[in-house]
Structure formats: structure tokens, C-alpha cells
Structure 1
């Protein structure tokens, strides 16, 4: 096999000889005969699936922690159905790799066609059931759920065995729309480590924080439009999905002249120092501006944007999690919130909102939120 590196955070493998084929014995005097004629069913000829009508679009995120591998922040549980699809439909899935190492998307029971890699359209060559998803990248596939053999429950997962065994697998059920629903929803206990926004009516406003170079950043340093969110660099659930959405929006706007900044405010005042923020920016895959503040400064900017966060009790090893709200804010002049999106918003809708507001950024100065409208709880 050839030498391979599976990404900046992945494994490396040296070139190696896997096997040696040894031919021995006398030659066979009677040559093997092959069929001269071969009949082929014309209906089995692969078609370009882009000619199919897409009934639904779906986002899938492969991510991981120090301890496990996940699909949409869920570790595999065999009794849970993660995805339900009506039989007879065709879907377009965007599979995003939110990690720094290679993952390989594989689905049982049906084939698909890769139509885009990292936002670049791909020519039709063949149908697949397995495709690589590059580190910090994405693929888009069209999947027809139209063959009767797909009705029932099966799985999709990363085809790297240790990732699959580590939890990067999900259950799918293709159901007959005429039949009653017999399965339960996704396990509500296996969700993102989040809390609701403290004030969903907050309008944003002035702020002053410190960036990864220890320089002061305020609302006046952001010209035009900005996407802004709250989180922390050790987050293994919501934040990787948010950064993946940032990358997707960036790809969607790549051919557009709309200026857009991508901002991240840490709510982990104890651990997210300048070094941690700088590494987070390098790993983001987009021109991220990561900022931090003192406890008081962080609480103030969280109140301004109506965000919430809750540091959790430390574990025996001293580590801890921070539950936090996950809104993505589209921010204009003066730090004012123009529009807000939740964690599951399709990046295409965010990109459309950016374009819509690009020539109409308001310049009204927002008020400063009161002490009971956000921040740490």
C-alpha cells in the first residue's frame, strides 16, 4: 500500500507490502474459455442521479471527542432510530467532516452518487456506496430510496473500522408512508450539551474583547456583516457543528463579493487563553476571529447578545464542560443583531440571509442589555 496521512489530526501510515503472490507449478495446457457473448439488462445501466427529483435535503456531521466518534453528536445506540425516510423518495445529503482526520461515508442497502466535494460539482462517473469525506471538508450525495429492498431499518457509518466501532454509526429507517409509524424519535437524552438562549429578543450592541494576538477587538473592528457565536474550544458537540456551518456558508459565498467575517466568543474564561484560541482559528478551516474576555467582560457581552452559558462541576481529573446556547447571530454595524439562526439551520439559508442584508446593513446603535437578560447562570 502507498504511504498515507489521514489529515492533520489523523493517523499516518508508511508504505508497506501487504502480500506477495507466488505462482508455481506447471502451466495448464487447456486455456480457460470466456463467454463470447454477454447480455445486459438495459435497465441496469447507471443513470446520472442529478436527473432525479430531490424530495428532501439533509445534513450529516461526522465529529469526534477524545473518547468516541459521533454522527450528528450522537454515539451509536442500536435501539434508536436517527433518520427516517419515506420510501419512494430521493434525498440529497451533505456529509460534513468536522474533524481534522479522514472519514469515509458508507450506507447499506442502496447506492448513491457524489455530486460535490467541498462545494465543487463533480462529473458523473459511477454509483457508490462508500466515499471519502476530507478532513474539515464535505461531500454532497444524491440517494434514491426507491428500491423495495431499502424498506426497513439499516445503518450508515464511517467505514474506518475503529471509527465505526467507536460510535460513528447511525440507524436509518425507510418506511412505507401508508403504514403507521412504529418507531420512536431520537433519544432525547442524547442531545447537544446546550442551554436555551437567555434572551432571544436581545438586539446586540457594543462589546470589547481580546483576540488570539492579545489585541483588543470591539464592534468597530468588524466592517460589514459578521456571523458571531458563543462557545468554547474544548466543546465536542455544538461548536464543531457551528464551525462546520461557517465553512459551508463560506463555500456558498465563495463566488460572491459580499464581505463577511466569522467570529467566535469563548465562554470558557479559565482555559481558553490566547494559545487555545489561536489553535482553534488554525483548525477552523475558515478565517475565524476567536475572542475571549475576563469573567465580567464575557458576562457583559453574553448579556448584550442574550446568550447563556453554564460551567459544569469538574470531573475527578479536573476537566469540565460548559453548557451554552448555540445561536448564530448575523451582526451588522454597531454590533446590532440583524438575524439569528439556530444550530440546525441549513447553511444555504444563512448564506441567503447574508446576501439579502449585504446592501442594507443598519447603522442604528443598539442599547446595552440589562443584567438579567443573559450571561452566565
Structure 2
């Protein structure tokens, strides 16, 4: 009887301890908070207007950075459209959000192709590119997977790639990773929180 009472008390303490940990500080963001990572801190690419670009160029704005390619039939246009919807959903604050599309297919995604592609989604969005070496180094720096498939008889090929959006705060710090579970509402809420500081 005493042993049973002792076990009940121990069990109650364990449950209480678990409850304390579960109700501890949680991230205010819906997206994955990656503020502590040491990778992905900067990039050096050229935009579709021919201007060199790095994170410092967008200080004061939340940056939504997405890796993809213009021949992508599904994930890329869907993600770019969602990013544009976030900008629009934020109203006047949307002017403090910068959408960036980084191509993983620089052989086909030239400056002109990128200019035509990204501005369809939002006039403020920028397409960024580098040569094959710069693209490979950047993918490694951002822990981003991509792999060009074998071309068919007509020379067409797809590029397998991730679907995450990397998010920088207005101070130029990499803060969030928006994964596949994201919605426009959760994206907008997280961006609004970053804009508030």
C-alpha cells in the first residue's frame, strides 16, 4: 500500500514536470525558427536588372528568398504566387517585404528570362543568378538540395529541388525557414511579426 502511494506521488511529479516543460517558452513563429544557425548569412548574386546584390541591400525589409527554376511546373510558381499574396495581404507593410527568386538553373534562366518570370508574380520581386560555380557554392552554404535530371531527346530537363523559403528580418539576419506546411496566413503572420521587430 505504501509502495503504491509512493509510485502515485512519483508519477504525479513526473507528469507535473512534463507539463512544466511542455508549457515553457515556445517560439512566437509558425515557421521554423533558425535564428541560431551560422550558415546562410549572406549571398552575392546579380539581379535581373544586372545589379550585384547581397543581404545588405535589403536592410529595413523582410526578405523572402526562394530557390527554384523558371521551367518548374508546380512548386516554383505556387510558392512565388504565395509570396506575392503575402505582400498584398500585408497592405502598406507589404512595401517592406522583398521577394527574391534565386535560380538553380543558370544555364537557362538568363537575366532576361528571370526578369520576365519574377515580375509576373509581383513587380517588386527580383530574380537572382550566378554562374554554375556560384550556384553550387550558394546551395552548399544554404544547405539547399538541387539536382538537374538527365535531358530528354529535345534537351528538356527538370531540376529536383527543395521548397523552403528562407526569411531574413529587417536587420539582415536569417531568422525563419518556411516549410511545406506553410499557408499564406501563417507566412503573413510571421512576416508581420518580424516587421514589428
TM-score by length of 2: 0.75
Does residue 210 of the first structure (1) align with residue 7 of the second (2)?
no
Distance 1:289 1:247 in 2: 12
Does residue 263 of the first structure (1) align with residue 100 of the second (2)?
yes
Task: Extract unaligned runs of 5+ from structure 1.
Answer: 1-200, 361-377
Secondary structure, in 3 states, of the residue corresponding to 1:351? helix
Secondary structure, in 3 states, of the residue corresponding to 2:93? coil
Does residue 357 of the first structure (1) align with residue 194 of the second (2)?
yes
Does residue 319 of the first structure (1) align with residue 156 of the second (2)?
yes
Name the counterpart of 2:89: 252
Name the counterpart of 2:68: 231
User: Which structure: greater helix fraction?
Assistant: 2
Deviation at 1:330, TM superposition (A): 1.1
Deviation at 1:283, TM superposition (A): 1.5
Deviation at 1:285, TM superposition (A): 3.2
Task: Extract unaligned runs of 5+ from structure 2.
Answer: 1-36
Q: Is the radius of gyration larger for structure 1 or structure 2?
A: 1
Does residue 309 of the first structure (1) align with residue 177 of the second (2)?
no
Q: Output aligned runs, 1:15-94, within 5 Å.
A: none
Does residue 290 of the first structure (1) align with residue 127 of the second (2)?
yes
Deviation at 1:295, TM superposition (A): 1.2
* More contact order relative to length (CA 8 Å, sep ≥ 6): 2
| Maintained 8 Å contact 2:147/2:161 | yes
TM-score by length of 1: 0.40
Name the counterpart of 2:178: 341
Residues 265 and 323 (structure 1), Cα distance of their counterparts in 2 relative to 1, 3 Å cut: same
| Maintained 8 Å contact 2:101/2:118 | no
Secondary structure, in 3 states, of the residue corresponding to 2:46? strand
Residues 205 and 334 (structure 1), Cα distance of their counterparts in 2 relative to 1, 3 Å cut: farther
Question: CA-to-partner distance for each residue in 1:213-264, whole Å, 9 max, x for gaps?
Answer: 2221111111221011100011111001101111210121014377111111
Number of residue pairs the alignment of both structures matches: 160
Residues 258 and 291 (structure 1), Cα distance of their counterparts in 2 relative to 1, 3 Å cut: closer
User: Which structure: greater strand fraction?
Assistant: 1
Distance 2:113 2:188 in 1: 28
* Residue in structure 2 matching 1:219, options 47, 55, 63: 55
Deviation at 1:282, TM superposition (A): 2.7
Moved over 6 A (4+): none
Distance 2:176 2:52 in 1: 25
Distance 2:138 2:188 in 1: 25
| Maintained 8 Å contact 1:225/1:333 | yes
